[in-house]
């Protein structure tokens, strides 16, 4: 312990001796002042923006000395400069340097920290600052320059939530047209501080892009790009993705043909509607682990007969497995025996059906008609008959399962959506027990049900759907959620959901 203290004391003595020797040498040589005095005076003048006082302390200041400082202060909008000098370091008999840090406070961009080194030398028996442009900022070395650049956005080009341009070939164009205004020229949307140097790409230092009035959307650049790339090889299809916490639409890639819209047009949803039927059945007292029959065919007493895909017969299974394997016969039998005529339509209304969706560019969820006819009720229970839904609607359904609250989806801020489309429906808090059951059942679909083995992420919850049509091949659907992302994949006349919708969902999710 004593030996360590002795080393520290000896080190301190040597440092003091060196400084004292340097001061004696300077005085003996007739040198005026010291590097510490000159640097302190320079830093003070610099903080005070006293360019005249600074130039007196500089060895042969260049003719553009003031211009450099004006460019780094006035042109960049610097309101204040704070400097923190370090200790003087002696580098030779007549040279020294002082490392320092600083913060420039820019009017529009806030604090901009930097660090540098002030170099000094004896010139004509006087300590002077050896000034170079990099004294102001290291990035000014070797011809570098720093600029405050305005960012412009086309008035006809809405932005992502991050303030960036919508990705190229986003397939969102049809939904963005209503957000465009009638201005003819691009307008500034913010500023960015950029460093430029010969032979090097521009380096962004600071950015401030305020929200654009009527132009910024809720679209996520990354999610939108993933959705668009997932549809590159598949036309007449759409992907809608939603943040379940807010209802914000994170992506809409819409390649539906014949002017169909993923927001406004509705289609038979097929088995993805079983989420709603399951919610009604869980609300009636049926539990996810209750045992139910899943025969290959089922005939409504005195009425029509129905079958599973391929007339698959599974015997007695849990309600969860009936959902996972999409047993039509189970859902028809349970719906007719457990639900009253109005139960399914009332449940659907809780989940958005029958409502306009004020996204900011309009939207509609879907519809289902009341009926006392057992045949009609049976076919409605499996998403056919009078049931129709938009892809936007079914994405919102998946989001509601994830969050436990149904929220109206929107493409712009709440205020903008209200001004454009009118008031939004109030969020609907769903029965926690019903939601818990649906989460278990949607997980089973991906784990060992109809979506198993499709290359989907392991932690995904989903539901497949294949909906018969009167004008062609069936529609293919897949809805689901993963983390804070809910989505719907829809392929118009795509055939089987397994062959058409699931590969698109896999590309989308694995591309995020």
pLDDT at residue 26 is higher than 80: no
Q: Which residue has the higher pLDDT, 9 or 112?
A: 112
CA atoms of 316 and 327, how far apart (whole Å): 11
Beta bridge partners, 152, equal 188
How many Cβ atoms sit within 10 Å of the Cβ of residue 307?
15
Highest mean pLDDT among 27-41, 159-173, 449-463: 449-463
- Which single residue is written with the structure tokens 């490392």? 99
pLDDT on residue 11:
32
Phi-psi category of residue 385: left, alpha or beta, with phi > 0 → left and psi -120 to 50 → alpha: left
User: What percent of the chain clears pLDDT 70, i.e. is strictly above it?
Assistant: 90
Confidence of residue 189 (pLDDT cuts 50, 70, 90): low
> E-strand spans in 288-363?
291-294, 297-299, 305-307, 315-318
Tokens of 495: 């055939």
Both tokens of 202, joined, read 């521009």
Q: What percent of the chain has pLDDT over 90?
A: 80
3-state secondary structure (DSSP) of residue 338: helix
pLDDT tens, position by position, 196-240: 999 888 899 998 765 544 478 999 999 999 999 999 999 999 999
Residue 117: pLDDT over 90: yes
Q: What Cα–Cα distance (Å) separates residue 151 from each residue in 103, 189, 198?
A: 24, 6, 22
| Beta-sheet pairing, 249-254 with 315-318 | unpaired
**Angstrom distance (rounded) from CA 274 to CA 436:** 15
| Distance of alpha carbon 201 from alpha carbon 218, whole angstroms | 30
Mean of the pLDDT values across residues 81-87?
97
Question: Residue 155 has what pLDDT?
Answer: 57
Integer CA distances (angstroms), 315 to 259, 305, 311, 319, 353, in order: 44, 18, 12, 12, 33
pLDDT band for 3, please (50, 70, 90 cuts): very low
Mean pLDDT (whole number) for 62-80: 93
Q: Write the pLDDT tens digit of every residue in 487-505.
A: 999 999 999 999 999 999 9
Across 179-207, average pLDDT? 79
> Coil, strand or helix: which one is 304?
coil
**pTM of the complete model beyond 0.85:** no
Extract the tokens encoding 4.
């360590």
Interval 114-137 mean pLDDT: 96
Q: Average pLDDT, whole number, for the chain? A: 90
Closest CA to 498 of 293, 270, 223: 270
Residues 6 or more apart in contact with residue 311 via CB below 8 angstroms: 296, 297
Least trusted range by pLDDT, from 118-127, 174-183, 335-344: 174-183
């Amino acid at each position: 312990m004593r030996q360590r203290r002795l080393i520290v004391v000896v080190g301190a003595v040597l440092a003091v001796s060196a400084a004292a020797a340097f001061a004696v040498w300077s005085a003996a040589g007739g040198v005026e002042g010291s590097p510490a005095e000159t640097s302190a005076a320079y830093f003070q003048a610099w903080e005070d923006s006293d360019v005249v006082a600074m130039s007196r302390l500089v060895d042969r200041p260049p003719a553009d000395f003031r211009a450099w400082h004006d460019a780094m202060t006035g042109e960049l909008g610097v309101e204040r400069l704070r400097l923190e000098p370090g200790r003087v370091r002696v580098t030779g008999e007549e040279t020294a340097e002082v490392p320092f840090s600083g913060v420039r406070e820019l009017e529009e961009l806030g604090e901009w920290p930097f660090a540098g080194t002030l170099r000094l030398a004896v010139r004509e028996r006087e300590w002077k600052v050896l000034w170079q442009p990099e004294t102001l900022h290291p990035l000014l070395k070797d011809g570098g320059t720093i600029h405050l650049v305005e960012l412009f956005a086309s008035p006809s080009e809405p932005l992502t939530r991050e303030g960036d341009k919508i990705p190229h070939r986003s397939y969102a164009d049809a939904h963005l047209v209503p957000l465009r205004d009638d201005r003819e020229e691009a307008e500034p949307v913010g500023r960015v501080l950029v460093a430029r140097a010969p032979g090097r790409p521009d380096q962004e230092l600071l950015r401030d892009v305020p929200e654009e009035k009527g132009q910024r959307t809720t679209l996520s650049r990354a999610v939108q790009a993933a959705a668009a790339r997932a549809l590159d090889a598949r036309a007449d299809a759409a992907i809608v993705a939603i943040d379940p916490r807010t209802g914000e639409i994170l992506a809409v890639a819409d390649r539906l043909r014949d002017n169909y819209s993923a927001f406004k047009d509705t289609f038979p949803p097929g088995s993805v509607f079983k989420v709603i039927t399951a919610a009604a059945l869980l609300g009636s007292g049926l539990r996810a682990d209750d045992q139910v029959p899943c025969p290959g065919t089922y005939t409504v007493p005195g009425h029509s007969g129905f079958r599973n895909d391929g007339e698959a017969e599974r015997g007695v299974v849990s309600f969860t497995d009936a959902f996972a394997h999409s047993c039509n016969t189970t859902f028809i039998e349970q719906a007719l025996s457990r639900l009253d005529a109005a139960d399914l339509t009332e449940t659907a209304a809780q989940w958005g059906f029958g409502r306009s969706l004020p996204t900011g560019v309009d939207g509609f969820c879907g519809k289902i008609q009341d009926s006392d006819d057992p045949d009609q009720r049976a076919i409605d229970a499996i998403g056919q008959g009078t049931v129709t839904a938009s892809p936007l609607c079914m994405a919102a359904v998946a989001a509601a399962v994830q969050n436990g609250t149904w929220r109206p989806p929107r493409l712009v801020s709440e205020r903008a959506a209200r001004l454009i489309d009118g008031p939004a429906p109030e969020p609907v808090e769903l029965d926690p027990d019903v939601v818990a059951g649906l989460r278990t059942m949607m997980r089973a679909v991906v784990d060992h049900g109809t979506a198993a083995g499709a290359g989907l992420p392991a932690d995904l919850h989903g539901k497949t759907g294949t909906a018969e049509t009167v004008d062609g091949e069936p529609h293919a659907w897949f809805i689901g959620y993963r983390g804070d992302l809910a989505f719907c994949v829809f392929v118009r006349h795509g055939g089987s959901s397994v062959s058409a919708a699931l590969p698109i969902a896999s590309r989308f999710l694995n591309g995020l």
